[in-house]
C-alpha cells in the first residue's frame, strides 16, 4: 500500500487536489535528517504548519524517501473523501482526539516513538489554521512525544516544516467570486475592509446573532464566535467553564460527531440537533481565524488572497459546508519550507 501511494501520489495531487507542482525549499536539510533516521542515529518528529486540507498528501509526496506515521483528528474520516477514508487506516496513521486522553492511542505512539520504525508527523497547531504566514498557538503534546522518543536512548530531532500554496486567480478575480457568492457589490475603495464587514454581517443575519458595526472587526469576530459556541453548547448540553475558543470548538465538534457517527444510537430529533450545532462549529472553525491585519506586510497580495478565500469559506460554512467543500483554486503550486531542526 505504501509503495502504491508513493507511485500514485503525484497524480492524486494533480487530479484530486488541483496541485500542478510541488517545490521543496532547503531540501538538503530534509534529506540530512531522513538519512540520520534511516541510519538509526535518531528519532524524528516532523512538525508541520497546517495551513490547508491539502497538507497531508503534499507532505506524503514531498517526503517520499520513507513512510511517515501521521497523526490525524478522529473526526476526519467522518467528513473526508473516499480516498482519505480508505487510505488513512491502511497506512497506519493514528487517529487522536484533541483535548482528550486516549490510552490505546497513547500506548501505540509511545511504542512507535521508542521503536522508531517511522518518523512521526503531526500538526502542533491542533488543526487547519488557514494562514501561511502566521503560526497559531501550539497545542500541548509535542513535548510529551519528544520525551517518549528519548526513552529509546537515541537523539530526538524535531523538524519543522511550513506549508504554503500559490493560487493562480488574481485578487480581483477572487473578490469578484466573493461578490457573486455574497450577492453584495463592493465599492471601488477599501474593498477588502468592506468584504470583511459584510461577511460578519452575513454570519450575524444567518444565525440571528447580535452584531455592532461600531466595534472593531476583531471584537465583532470574537463576539460572533462566542455567540455561536454558546448556542451550540446549549443544544449539546455542554458547559465551557472559561475554556478557550479552540477548546470549546473541539468539545462541540466531538459531541456532534459522537451523536451522528458514534456507537450509541440516538433518535432523529437528537441527530437533527447535532447537525445544527455542528454547523455552528463549522462556521467558528474558519471564522475564529479571520484577521484583517494579516493582509498587510510582506507578500501582501498572497496574504490578501488567503483572506478572501477564508471569507468565501465562511459563506460555504453558513450554507452548511465544511472544510471538504471549501473552495481551493485548481492549478495551485504547493511549497514545503524545511526549517531548522
> Over pLDDT 90: what percentage of the chain?
65
Residues 158 and 189 grouped into a single domain: no
Into how many domains does the chain fold?
2
CATH number, domain at 147? 3.40.1130.10
Q: Which parts of 148-304 are beta strand (E)? A: 155-166
Dump pLDDT digits (tens) for 291-334.
Answer: 999 998 889 999 999 999 999 999 999 999 999 999 999 999 99
Residues 26 and 152 grouped into a single domain: yes
The structure's pTM equals: 0.91
- In this predicted structure, the answer to whether residue 5 has a pLDDT above a threshold of 80 is no
Of the pLDDT bands very low, low, confident and very high (cuts 50, 70, 90), residue 152 is confident
- In this predicted structure, the answer to whether residue 99 has a pLDDT above a threshold of 70 is no
Residues 147 and 175 grouped into a single domain: no
Residues 128 and 225 grouped into a single domain: no
C-alpha cell belonging to residue 162 = 511550513
Q: Tell me the residue range of the domain where 154 lies.
A: 2-167+332-338
In this structure, are residues 20 and 14 in contact, taking their beta carbons and an 8 Å threshold?
yes
> Over pLDDT 70: what percentage of the chain?
94
- In this predicted structure, the answer to whether residue 6 has a pLDDT above a threshold of 70 is yes
Instruction: Check residue 84 and give its pLDDT.
Output: 76
Residues 194 and 129 grouped into a single domain: no
Residues 162 and 14 grouped into a single domain: yes
Of the pLDDT bands very low, low, confident and very high (cuts 50, 70, 90), residue 104 is low
Tell me the mean pLDDT in the region 166-189: 94
Measured distance CA(266)–CA(258) in Å, rounded: 10
- In this predicted structure, the answer to whether residue 219 has a pLDDT above a threshold of 70 is yes
Residues 6+ apart with CB under 8 A from 26: 337, 338, 339
Of the pLDDT bands very low, low, confident and very high (cuts 50, 70, 90), residue 290 is very high
Residues 17 and 133 grouped into a single domain: yes
What letter would DSSP give residue 267? Answer: -
Instruction: Check residue 96 and give its pLDDT.
Output: 76
Residues 84 and 111 grouped into a single domain: yes
- In this predicted structure, the answer to whether residue 198 has a pLDDT above a threshold of 80 is yes
Tell me the mean pLDDT in the region 92-99: 72
The more confident residue out of 167 and 10 is 167
Residues 6+ apart with CB under 8 A from 295: 192, 303, 304, 307
Residues 211 and 155 grouped into a single domain: no
State the greatest distance between any 2 C-alpha atoms of the chain, in Å, as a whole number. 63
Q: Which region among 88-102, 216-230, 244-258 has the lowest average model confidence (pLDDT)?
A: 88-102
Residues 139 and 270 grouped into a single domain: no
Half-sphere exposure of 182 (CA within 13 A, CB side): 27
- In this predicted structure, the answer to whether residue 102 has a pLDDT above a threshold of 90 is no
Residues 120 and 227 grouped into a single domain: no
What letter would DSSP give residue 26? Answer: T
Instruction: Check residue 32 and give its pLDDT.
Output: 97
Tell me the mean pLDDT in the region 270-296: 96
Residues 219 and 126 grouped into a single domain: no
Amino acid at each position: 500500500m505504501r509503495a502504491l501511494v508513493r507511485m500514485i501520489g503525484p497524480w492524486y495531487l494533480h487530479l484530486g487536489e488541483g496541485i500542478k507542482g510541488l517545490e521543496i525549499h532547503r531540501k538538503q536539510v530534509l534529506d540530512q535528517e531522513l538519512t540520520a533516521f534511516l541510519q538509526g542515529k535518531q528519532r524524528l518528529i516532523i512538525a508541520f504548519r497546517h495551513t490547508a486540507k491539502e497538507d497531508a498528501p503534499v507532505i506524503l509526496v514531498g517526503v517520499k524517501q520513507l513512510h511517515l506515521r501521521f497523526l490525524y483528528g478522529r473526526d476526519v474520516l467522518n467528513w473526508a473523501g473516499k480516498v482519505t477514508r480508505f487510505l488513512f487506516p491502511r497506512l497506519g496513521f493514528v487517529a487522536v482526539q484533541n483535548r482528550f486522553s486516549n490510552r490505546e492511542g497513547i500506548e501505540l505512539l509511545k511504542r512507535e516513538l521508542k521503536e522508531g520504525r517511522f518518523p512521526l508527523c503531526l500538526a502542533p497547531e491542533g488543526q487547519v489554521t488557514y494562514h501561511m504566514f502566521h503560526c497559531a498557538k501550539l497545542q500541548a503534546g509535542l513535548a510529551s512525544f519528544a520525551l517518549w522518543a528519548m526513552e529509546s536512548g537515541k537523539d530526538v530531532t524535531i523538524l519543522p516544516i511550513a506549508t504554503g500554496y500559490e493560487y493562480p486567480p488574481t485578487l480581483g478575480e477572487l473578490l469578484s467570486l466573493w461578490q457573486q457568492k455574497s450577492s453584495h457589490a463592493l465599492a471601488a475603495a477599501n474593498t477588502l475592509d468592506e468584504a470583511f464587514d459584510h461577511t460578519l454581517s452575513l454570519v450575524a443575519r444567518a444565525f440571528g446573532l447580535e452584531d455592532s458595526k461600531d466595534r472593531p472587526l476583531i471584537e465583532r469576530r470574537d463576539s460572533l464566535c462566542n455567540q455561536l459556541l454558546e448556542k451550540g453548547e446549549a443544544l449539546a448540553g455542554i458547559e465551557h467553564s472559561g475554556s478557550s475558543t479552540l477548546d470549546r470548538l473541539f468539545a462541540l465538534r466531538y459531541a456532534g460527531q459522537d451523536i451522528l457517527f458514534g456507537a450509541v444510537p440516538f433518535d432523529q430529533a437528537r441527530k437533527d440537533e447535532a447537525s445544527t450545532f455542528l454547523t455552528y462549529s463549522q462556521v467558528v472553525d474558519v471564522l475564529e481565524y479571520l484577521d484583517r491585519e494579516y493582509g498587510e506586510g510582506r507578500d501582501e497580495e498572497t496574504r490578501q488572497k488567503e483572506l478572501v478565500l477564508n471569507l468565501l469559506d465562511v459563506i460555504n460554512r453558513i450554507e452548511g459546508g465544511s472544510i471538504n467543500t471549501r473552495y481551493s483554486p485548481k492549478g495551485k503550486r504547493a511549497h514545503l519550507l524545511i526549517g531548522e531542526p
